[in-house]
Structure 1
Amino acid sequence: MKAAVLTAFGVPLKIMTIPDPVLGTGEVIVDVIATGVTGYAANVFNGSRNYLLELPVVPGPGGIGRVRATGPDATRLKVGDWVFCESTVRSRDEALTPDSILQGWTYRTEAALQLHRHFHDGSFAEQMRVPTENVTRIGDIDPAMAGRWTALGRLAVPFGGLLAGGLRAGETLVVSGATGGFGGAGVAVALAIGAGRVVATGRNAAALKDLGRRLGPRVAPVQMTGDEAEDRRRIIEAAAGSIDMVLDFLPREAAASQVLAAAMALRHGGRLVLMGGLRGTQGDLPLNYNWLMHNNITVKGQWMYDRDAIGRMVQMVRAGLVDLEQYEMTEFGLHDANEAVAYAAANAGPRQLTVLRPDRP
């Protein structure tokens, strides 16, 4: 099969012919039709993001495809089924503290290296082998729409955070970092769940205005200034009432004060869900013990999402609660993988969807 292979950090992907994946028990082989290219893929491939990867590797975290073959323990999947392959692979031998990887993307700890070596290659290829539990049927679709369905991977991440925080219909939510891919998706998913008001914060005024225009009057865009007190005042004013929950998707470059601007605006009994990328000393949040305790504040860290999130997101799309047409999509054939990576880096944003089509030359 043909695949785009990362042979070393800092060099372009190489289009190669490699052996087809071999099926094992508890596994599924999928013909990859479409896979998303993240805006930060270039930083993964040049090594600056410091993702743990054993090279060479076929990169690509998940995608849309059709089942080619199933193991003997699959009871519902059939050859030809349209499916979403999700990249979060968890070890099966420890239910309470499973090790996990993002297939074709990174292994998070040394303990997960063995898992990475087995489910090594990702979706920048004509075929991929994935654990059976990582394959979700999406129903029949027009092949031309396959690229849009890759948005499931972007939508499911904030959906996992909203479920973890227990967002309820009618509540007011603040999405910190709403002008990024995951943050923007979080605004759309929160509205689908029934949030009464979503305060969308970010620095890009044009992107915030576009979010409000597209997603309607329940969205209150707020441009951040970098001044914690002023930003908190703006958030509270835009909420026009108590704030029930904050979903944080601030990037690595953000400061802890930007997290606090929203967190400290929470009502008594409010919830803070952390899913962003703050690192090093910037990731140290000086949350006051007395304030947390007396205000019954819940702080929840959430990495990715639980297994049922993809299936539930498919239901929301099928019901028309989430519109995949909201994205501006640009597609590339497999041989143009490097062009796709460069395009994604230059066109990152809440509406932009860059797609690689391994089914096309």
Structure 2
Amino acid sequence: MRAATLTAFGSPLVVHDVPDPEAGSGEVLVEVLATCVPPYAAEVFSGERRYPLEPPVVPGVGGIGRVVRVGPDATKLAVGDLVWCDPTVRARDDALTPDITLQGWSPRGEGGAKLARHLPDGPFAELMRVPTENVYRLPAAAAADPARWSALGVHTIAYGGLLAGRLEAGETLLVSGATGNLGSSAVAVALAVGAGHVVVPGRNRAVLDLLADRFGARVSPVELSGDEDTDRATMAAATDGPIDMVLDLLPPWAPSSVARAAAMTVREHGRVVLMGGVGMLGGADLALPYPWIMRNSVTVRGQWMYPRTANAGMIRLIATGALDLAPERVTRFDLDQVNDAVAYAAEHGGPFDRTVLMPTA
């Protein structure tokens, strides 16, 4: 098969012939039709983001494909099925605290690195080998546009954050980092699952206006000034009622003061979910005040990716039209154009802008 390989950080991806992966027991072999290229992929491949990838590796983060081969433990999957391949691989030998790797992207700890060495098959290739439990059948309608459905790789992350915060119908959510690619997804998904109102802070006025135009009165844009106290007060006053939950999806270069200002808008007994990259490249700690958390009975939790059930839930949201993918802009590249796709994604990382690699186009 042909695949795009990261041979070393700072080097372009190399498209070449490599041996076909061989799926064993507990694994599925999938022909990759489409995979989203993250806007920050260039930062990962350059080494700027300091991801613990171990080159050489075929990178990527999940994808849409067709099943080519199934193992003997598959009872429902069949050859020819159109599927979503979830990159969040969990070790099978510890149900309580399993080691995790994002297949083709980022392992967690030494256990995750061991998993990554076993599964160096990311979706930037014609074929990939995937654990059986990471493969989810898609509705027949998805076959009409697998590239558009590859946005599952973005929306399911946002959905995981909402599940972690137990967002309830009618509640008010503040999305910190709402003007970014992942943050804007969180706005759309939150409204799709029944959020009553979403506060969307940011510095980019054009993107704030775009979100308000797309979603109407249920979205309140807030243009940030850069002053922590002023911004906290402005965000808290953006709706008539209290803010029930804050979801932080800020990128690694965002200052912790921006995340803190957003978090501290949440009401008494509110919830704060941290999913962004603040502090990953150094800088000041988040430093939420102990007395504020304690006296207001605020719940603060981190969330990396999402539970397995989120995949099925997100597929249902799209299949039923609760989350509409039609307005999203999708730009497609074939495998030979992989480096062009990475560069394009870096320049087009705004809301609902998808760069999609189609290895078997």
Determine the C-alpha separation between the residues in 2 that align with 1:326 and 1:224: 27
Matching residue of 1:230: 230
Determine the C-alpha separation between the residues in 2 that align with 1:266 and 1:142: 38
Determine the C-alpha separation between the residues in 2 that align with 1:341 and 1:21: 24
The amino acid that maps onto 1:34 is A
Matching residue of 2:37: 37
- 1:233, CA displacement in angstroms? 1.8
Determine the C-alpha separation between the residues in 2 that align with 1:86 and 1:283: 33
Determine the C-alpha separation between the residues in 2 that align with 1:146 and 1:109: 33
Determine the C-alpha separation between the residues in 2 that align with 1:164 and 1:75: 30
Alignment map for 1:1-361 (pairs within 5 Å) = 1-141=1-141, 143-279=143-279, 282=283, 284-360=285-361
Percent sequence identity over aligned pairs = 56
Determine the C-alpha separation between the residues in 2 that align with 1:236 and 1:104: 39
Verify the 8 A CA contact 2:139 2:319 in the aligned structure 1. no
Verify the 8 A CA contact 2:125 2:335 in the aligned structure 1. yes
The amino acid that maps onto 1:326 is P
- 1:240, CA displacement in angstroms? 2.0
Verify the 8 A CA contact 2:142 2:149 in the aligned structure 1. no
More deviation, 348-357/236-245: 236-245
Deviations 1:167-205 (A, max 9, x none): 001111000000111111000011011111100111111
Helix, strand or coil for the counterpart of 1:326?
coil
Deviations 1:277-299 (A, max 9, x none): 01166462222222211211000
Deviations 1:314-356 (A, max 9, x none): 1111111101113111000110001000000011111210000
The amino acid that maps onto 2:185 is A
Helix, strand or coil for the counterpart of 2:141?
coil
- 1:114, CA displacement in angstroms? 1.5
Helix, strand or coil for the counterpart of 1:56?
coil
The Cα RMSD (Å) is 1.2
- 1:89, CA displacement in angstroms? 0.6
Helix, strand or coil for the counterpart of 2:326?
helix
Runs ≥4 residues deviating over 6 A? none
The amino acid that maps onto 1:147 is A
Determine the C-alpha separation between the residues in 2 that align with 1:96 and 1:196: 34
Determine the C-alpha separation between the residues in 2 that align with 1:282 and 1:247: 21
TM-score, length-scaled by structure 1: 0.97
Verify the 8 A CA contact 2:61 2:122 in the aligned structure 1. yes
Helix, strand or coil for the counterpart of 2:28?
strand
- 1:33, CA displacement in angstroms? 0.2
- 1:37, CA displacement in angstroms? 0.4
Name structure 1 gaps, 5 residues minimum: none
The amino acid that maps onto 1:276 is G
Verify the 8 A CA contact 2:256 2:279 in the aligned structure 1. no
Determine the C-alpha separation between the residues in 2 that align with 1:339 and 1:269: 47
Aligned residues: 360
Determine the C-alpha separation between the residues in 1 that align with 2:193 and 2:151: 17
Verify the 8 A CA contact 1:254 1:282 in the aligned structure 2. no
Determine the C-alpha separation between the residues in 1 that align with 2:250 and 2:113: 28
Verify the 8 A CA contact 1:81 1:140 in the aligned structure 2. no
Verify the 8 A CA contact 1:180 1:348 in the aligned structure 2. yes
Verify the 8 A CA contact 2:70 2:78 in the aligned structure 1. yes
Determine the C-alpha separation between the residues in 1 that align with 2:142 and 2:309: 24
The amino acid that maps onto 1:349 is G
Deviations 1:79-108 (A, max 9, x none): 111100011111110111111111011212
Helix, strand or coil for the counterpart of 2:318?
helix
Deviations 1:54-95 (A, max 9, x none): 211111111000111100000010111110001111111011
Determine the C-alpha separation between the residues in 2 that align with 1:134 and 1:12: 29
Helix, strand or coil for the counterpart of 2:55?
coil
Determine the C-alpha separation between the residues in 1 that align with 2:144 and 2:208: 29
Name structure 2 gaps, 5 residues minimum: none
TM-score, length-scaled by structure 2: 0.97
- 1:216, CA displacement in angstroms? 2.0
Determine the C-alpha separation between the residues in 2 that align with 1:286 and 1:338: 39
